[in-house]
Amino acid sequence: MRGLKNGLAAGALMALAWAGFATAGYAQGFSGIWDNPDGHLGSLAPENLKMDHGKAPINLTGTWMIFGEWRFLPMPKLKPAAQRLYDAAGKAAKEGKAFNDVTGHCWPPGLPIMMTRVWPIQMIQLPTAIVMISNFENQIRWVFMDGRKHSDPNIYVPSYNGESIGHWEGKTLVIDTTNIETKKHFIDRSVPISDKFHVVEYITLKDNGNVLSDEFHMTDPENWEGEWVSTKTYRRQNTVDFLEVHCLPDLDEGIPATFDQYSVDAPAN
C-alpha cells in the first residue's frame, strides 16, 4: 500500500515537473532547442545574410527541368556485390518485375536520383545557401554557401540528400555532399551506397543562363571503383509552379506495378 502511495506521489511530482517545463518552454518559445549543434548561424539569419560571402558569379534561381539521359551513364566498374544487385535488377526488369523499387514504396529517392526524376526542380539562391526543391514528393536539399564545414558525422543525422556544402570556382558552383543515409538508397539500377558515399557536383550555366549542367562525380570504394562521373542537363522553365506531391500511404492502392507480385526485394539493405 505504501508502495502504491509513493508511486502515485512520484508520478504526480513528475507530471508537475513536466507541466512546469512545458509551460516555461512555450513561454520562451523553446528557444535554443533547435539551434545548430555547432552553434553556427542559420543560413537565413539576417546577420549571416548580411555578411560578405563573396559575390556569386552566376544566379541559379529558377525552375529547371531535366532533359536528355536520366540514367547515370556510363556505369563504373562495380564491386562484385553491387554488380550482383545491378544484374539482378536487369533480370527482374526483363521478367516484368520491379527490383528494390523503394521509391515505389515511398522511400526517398535520395541524391543523386532526387535530381533526375522527370519533375521540375526549383532553385532559390541566397548569399548563404542555395535551396533546391524537387517537385517529386517535395524533396529538398540545402547547399550551404556560408563557409561552414561538414558536420561531425557522429552528430549529424544521415539524410537521403546528404549534407551539401558549396563554393564557387570561377563561374562553377562546386558542391560537396557527405553524411548520406544508406538505407534503401540506390543509384540507377539498384546500385547500393555505403557510408563512404561521397558526391562532388560541378554546376555551370550555359545558353544565356537558360541551360544548367550538373556534372556528378560520385565515389564509394565499397561499391565501385574510382569515380562514377555522369552529367545531367536541365532547361529553365518559366511557366511552372509547384503543387504539393506526397507519397501517401494509400497512393499505391490503385497502382498495380507496386503490388507484391510484381516486386522483388533484395535481402541486402
Partner 1 sequence: MKKLTFWVAAAAVSVGMPLAASVPALAHHSGAAYDHSKQTTVQGEVKEWRWSNPHAWLQIYVPGDKGNKQLWSFEATSPNILVKQGFTRTGMRPGDKIKVTFYPLSDGGPGGSLVRVVKDDGTVMGPPEKKAQN
Per CB under 8 A, residues contacting partner 1 are: 66, 70-71, 89-90, 92-93, 96-101, 103-105, 113, 116-119, 136-137, 186, 188-190, 243-248, 251-258, 261-263
Nearest distance from C-beta of residue 117 to partner 1, angstroms: 6
As measured in angstroms, the least distance from the Cβ of 247 to partner 1 is 6
Helix residue ranges, H only, 73-220:
80-94
Alpha-carbon distance of 116 to 62, in angstroms, equals 17
Question: In this complex, which beta carbon is closest to partner 1, that of residue 177 or of residue 190?
Answer: 190
**Shortest gap between Cβ of 235 and partner 1 (angstroms)?**
13
The neighbour count for residue 114, using CB atoms within 10 Å, is 23
Residue 82 and residue 267: Cα distance in Å, rounded?
13
Q: Of 98 and 132, which CB lies nearer to partner 1 in the complex structure?
A: 98
Cβ proximity to partner 1: between 98 and 173 the closer is 98
Return phi, psi of residue 22, to 5°: -65, -45
Instruction: Check whether the bond before 158 is cis (ω within 30° of 0).
Output: no
Question: Smallest gap, in angstroms, from Cβ of residue 222 to partner 1?
Answer: 21
Q: Which three cell numbers stand for residue 207?
A: 545558353
The least CB distance from residue 224 to partner 1, in Å, is: 17
Q: Which is nearer to partner 1, 101 or 220 (CB)?
A: 101
Please state the length of the chain: 269
Toward partner 1, which CB reaches closer, 31 or 261? 261
| DSSP secondary structure letters along 157-178 | PPBTT-EEEEEEETTEEEEEEE
